[in-house]
């Protein structure tokens, strides 16, 4: 399954229909959450999607406003409600409520009173709806002014909808279409996300080398081929401009035209920074996924990484590096190209010496690895990459000729500790 996201341009009539659909779906979403709460507190379990669909149909008959919305989009919303409820009920909860949960789990008959449900969506925070089947929409190609152009036909939306992204092809059977609205301050942007089925990727037979990717703040990614992608710290570039605008905003009268104008400028600046970060990630991930057949990465949670960040500058650096997104994009692109991704344990990868295996503790600010036992000197991130390759069992296999790797261990069959003791004494 693949998804293509493209911006769509709506006429004023079409915009009315889409906005109405979004608002009706929001109303149904909130009502269904209430229904889930009532059912859960009386019976101890959630209603099924079928039950919620029935409720949606009833609402469509009783409310004229919801009745004029596209019916199957409400069914997609009921699925969304169930998914959201399952996530909040089974997922993380607030620290204080952990005790209450455990007692409720012991007694399955008693419904959990402190259970968390998804929050109600106010106007503006709910901005999408889904056409769940290919009968509700279609992708049309028409010739206009001598050029073939792609259009969308959406349920209840009058006429054809113009699309921006014409170059990316949709190869395969379309499945669903989600229409999204993005608030840009003074106007809205609309997007259509079309999912379509593709054939499973053919395993690439051309011999490509394996690689280890070490992610971090100063280098977004460092490869075992010694190539590094430095962090350009885009936030620093716009920091002063942003601060100036924030100052202006604080002086403006809330709600006045001037206030909205400055708010728009700030929104656009944040948008620009985000787009820059996303573009960086796309470029890096596609280069890595295309050129290597086996990609070794650390299995680390980005949230825990962010927690060790010492100050605001470092946190901004983490945001600029977008490490979670990078890992996701590399995994996605590699799987669609038929390449493998191996996740290894991240413990001590940057502390161990890749040549002799001795633990060399070093701070985050130390960028070069110097081993006191064997004298091996290497860039910190590249050393960590070699360790990851060893963990994945790929060292010394094919194509790789690690320059100064493992000579010590092969020559004298000592354990690292013995070897180290021998040299220091
Ligand atoms: Zn060493």
pLDDT digits (tens, 9 = 90+) for 174-188: 999 999 999 877 789
Q: What is the 3-state secondary structure (H, E, C) of 365-406?
A: CCCEEECCCCCCEEEHHHHHHHHHHHHCCCCCCCCCCCCCCC
Kindly state whether residues 144 and 49 are assigned to the same domain: yes
Q: Across the chain, what does the average pLDDT equal?
A: 83
Nearest to 356 by CA among 371, 345, 368: 371
Confirm whether 50 is domain-assigned: yes
Confirm whether 355 is domain-assigned: no
Q: Higher confidence at residue 335 or residue 107?
A: 335
Confirm whether 103 is domain-assigned: yes
288 C-alpha to ligand 1 centroid (Å): 28
384 C-alpha to ligand 1 centroid (Å): 13
* Residue after which a domain boundary falls, among 344, 379, 406: 344
Kindly state whether residues 215 and 316 are assigned to the same domain: yes
Task: Tell me the three state secondary structure of residue 285.
Answer: helix
In angstroms and rounded to an integer, the radius of gyration of the C-alpha atoms of the chain is 27
404 C-alpha to ligand 1 centroid (Å): 11
355 C-alpha to ligand 1 centroid (Å): 5
| Exposure string over 344-374, b if 16+ CB within 10 A, otherwise e | bebeebbbbbbbbbbebeeeeeeeebebebb
414 C-alpha to ligand 1 centroid (Å): 13
387 C-alpha to ligand 1 centroid (Å): 12
What would the pLDDT profile of 268-282 be if each residue is shown by its tens digit?
A: 999 999 999 999 999
Confirm whether 155 is domain-assigned: yes
Kindly state whether residues 224 and 338 are assigned to the same domain: yes
Kindly state whether residues 62 and 137 are assigned to the same domain: yes
Kindly state whether residues 170 and 277 are assigned to the same domain: no
How many other C-beta atoms lie within 10 A of the C-beta of residue 265? 16
In angstroms, the CA 87 to CA 102 distance is 17
Which pLDDT score, from 0 to 100, does residue 98 have? Answer: 45
Kindly state whether residues 59 and 187 are assigned to the same domain: yes
Contact 360, 372 (CB under 8 A): yes
pLDDT at 71 over 60: yes
Kindly state whether residues 168 and 217 are assigned to the same domain: no
How many other C-beta atoms lie within 10 A of the C-beta of residue 240? 9
Which pLDDT score, from 0 to 100, does residue 281 have? Answer: 93
Please work out, in degrees rounded to the nearest 5, the angle formed at the alpha carbon of residue 46 by the alpha carbons of 45 and 50.
Answer: 135
Which pLDDT score, from 0 to 100, does residue 83 have? Answer: 92
345 C-alpha to ligand 1 centroid (Å): 20
| Exposure string over 166-196, b if 16+ CB within 10 A, otherwise e | eeeeeeeebbbbbbbbeeeeeeeebbbebbb
In angstroms, the CA 82 to CA 29 distance is 10
366 C-alpha to ligand 1 centroid (Å): 16
- Residue 92: pLDDT band (50, 70, 90) is low
- Ranges of beta strands (E only) in 160-311 are 161-163, 173-183, 188-197, 210-215, 219-223, 228-230, 294-298
Kindly state whether residues 154 and 225 are assigned to the same domain: no
| Mutual angle of helices 12-43 and 71-90, in 10-degree steps | 40
Nearest to 160 by CA among 184, 146, 144, 180: 144
Which pLDDT score, from 0 to 100, does residue 174 have? Answer: 92
215 C-alpha to ligand 1 centroid (Å): 22
pLDDT at 249 over 90: yes
Checking DSSP bridges between strand 228-230 and strand 294-298, what pairing results, if any? unpaired
401 C-alpha to ligand 1 centroid (Å): 18
Token pair listed for 376: 């091996």
Number of domains, the chain = 3
Q: How far apart are the first and last CA of the chain?
A: 61
* Residue after which a domain boundary falls, among 172, 199, 226: 199
Q: Higher confidence at residue 396 or residue 171?
A: 171
210 C-alpha to ligand 1 centroid (Å): 23
373 C-alpha to ligand 1 centroid (Å): 5
Confirm whether 363 is domain-assigned: no
pLDDT at 301 over 50: yes
Token pair listed for 57: 């149909």
357 C-alpha to ligand 1 centroid (Å): 6
* Residue after which a domain boundary falls, among 199, 233, 249: 199
405 C-alpha to ligand 1 centroid (Å): 10
369 C-alpha to ligand 1 centroid (Å): 9
Most confident option among 77-81, 115-119, 308-312: 77-81
How many other C-beta atoms lie within 10 A of the C-beta of residue 209? 15
Range of the domain at 328: 210-344
347 C-alpha to ligand 1 centroid (Å): 18
Which pLDDT score, from 0 to 100, does residue 312 have? Answer: 78
Confirm whether 360 is domain-assigned: no
Confirm whether 351 is domain-assigned: no
Cα four-point dihedral sign 186, 80, 68, 175: positive
377 C-alpha to ligand 1 centroid (Å): 9
Which pLDDT score, from 0 to 100, does residue 408 have? Answer: 42
What would the pLDDT profile of 203-234 be if each residue is shown by its tens digit?
A: 767 778 888 898 888 888 999 888 999 988 88
Contact 335, 201 (CB under 8 A): yes
340 C-alpha to ligand 1 centroid (Å): 30
Which pLDDT score, from 0 to 100, does residue 410 have? Answer: 43
Which pLDDT score, from 0 to 100, does residue 121 have? Answer: 93
416 C-alpha to ligand 1 centroid (Å): 8
Kindly state whether residues 149 and 263 are assigned to the same domain: no
CB-based contacts of 50, cutoff 8 Å, min separation 6: none
How many other C-beta atoms lie within 10 A of the C-beta of residue 246? 11
In angstroms, the CA 282 to CA 308 distance is 26
- Residue 395: pLDDT band (50, 70, 90) is low
pLDDT at 421 over 50: no
Kindly state whether residues 229 and 261 are assigned to the same domain: yes
136 C-alpha to ligand 1 centroid (Å): 63
Which pLDDT score, from 0 to 100, does residue 111 have? Answer: 56
Which pLDDT score, from 0 to 100, does residue 259 have? Answer: 92
356 C-alpha to ligand 1 centroid (Å): 4
Q: Enumerate residues with CB within 5 Å of ligand 1 (an ion).
A: 353, 355-356, 358, 371, 373-374, 376
134 C-alpha to ligand 1 centroid (Å): 60
Token pair listed for 402: 């690690």
Kindly state whether residues 82 and 228 are assigned to the same domain: no
In angstroms, the CA 166 to CA 177 distance is 16
pLDDT at 423 over 50: no
Give the least confident one: 185-199, 220-234, 337-351, 410-424: 410-424
Which pLDDT score, from 0 to 100, does residue 307 have? Answer: 73
CB-based contacts of 350, cutoff 8 Å, min separation 6: 214, 362, 369, 380, 381, 383, 384, 387
28 C-alpha to ligand 1 centroid (Å): 63
214 C-alpha to ligand 1 centroid (Å): 19
Kindly state whether residues 37 and 82 are assigned to the same domain: yes
CB-based contacts of 289, cutoff 8 Å, min separation 6: 295, 330, 333, 334, 337, 339
Q: What are phi and psi of 237, to 5 degrees?
A: -60, -40
386 C-alpha to ligand 1 centroid (Å): 12
Confirm whether 306 is domain-assigned: yes
What would the pLDDT profile of 307-330 be if each residue is shown by its tens digit?
A: 776 777 778 888 888 888 899 999
């Amino acid at each position: 399954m693949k998804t293509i996201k493209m911006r769509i341009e709506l006429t004023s009539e079409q915009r009315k229909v889409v906005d109405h659909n979004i608002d009706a779906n929001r109303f149904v979403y909130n009502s269904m959450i209430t229904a889930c709460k009532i059912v859960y507190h009386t019976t101890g379990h959630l209603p099924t999607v079928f039950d919620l669909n029935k409720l949606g149909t009833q609402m469509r008959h009783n409310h004229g406003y919801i009745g004029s919305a596209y019916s199957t989009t409400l069914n997609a919303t009921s699925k969304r409600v169930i998914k959201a409820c399952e996530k909040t009920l089974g997922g993380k909860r607030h620290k204080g409520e952990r005790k209450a949960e455990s007692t409720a789990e012991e007694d399955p008959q008693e419904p959990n009173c402190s259970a968390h449900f998804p929050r109600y969506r106010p106007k503006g925070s709910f901005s999408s709806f889904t056409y769940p089947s290919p009968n509700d929409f279609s992708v049309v190609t028409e010739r206009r002014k001598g050029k073939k152009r792609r259009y969308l036909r959406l349920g209840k939306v009058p006429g054809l909808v113009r699309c921006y992204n014409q170059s990316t092809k949709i190869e395969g059977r379309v499945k669903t279409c989600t229409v999204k609205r993005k608030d840009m301050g003074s106007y809205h942007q609309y997007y259509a996300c079309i999912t379509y089925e593709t054939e499973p990727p053919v395993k690439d037979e051309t011999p490509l080398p394996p690689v280890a990717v070490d992610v971090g703040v100063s280098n977004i990614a460092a490869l075992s081929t010694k190539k590094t992608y430095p962090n350009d710290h885009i936030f620093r570039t716009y920091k002063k401009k942003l601060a100036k605008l924030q100052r202006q905003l604080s002086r403006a009268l809330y709600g006045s035209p001037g206030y909205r104008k400055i708010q728009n400028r700030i929104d656009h600046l944040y948008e620009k920074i985000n787009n820059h970060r996303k573009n960086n990630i796309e470029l890096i991930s596609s280069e890595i996924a295309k050129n290597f057949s086996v990609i070794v990465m650390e299995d680390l949670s980005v949230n825990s990484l962010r927690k060790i960040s010492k100050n605001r500058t470092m946190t901004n650096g983490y945001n600029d590096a977008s490490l979670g997104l990078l890992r996701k994009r590399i995994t996605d692109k590699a799987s669609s190209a038929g390449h493998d991704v191996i996740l290894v344990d991240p413990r001590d990868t940057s502390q161990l010496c890749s040549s002799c295996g001795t633990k060399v503790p070093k701070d985050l600010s130390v960028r070069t690895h110097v081993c006191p036992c064997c004298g091996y000197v290497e860039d910190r991130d590249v050393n960590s990459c070699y360790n990851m390759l060893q963990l994945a069992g790929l060292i010394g296999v094919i194509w790789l000729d690690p320059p100064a790797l493992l000579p010590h261990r092969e020559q004298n069959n000592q354990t690292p500790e013995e070897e180290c003791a021998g040299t220091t004494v």
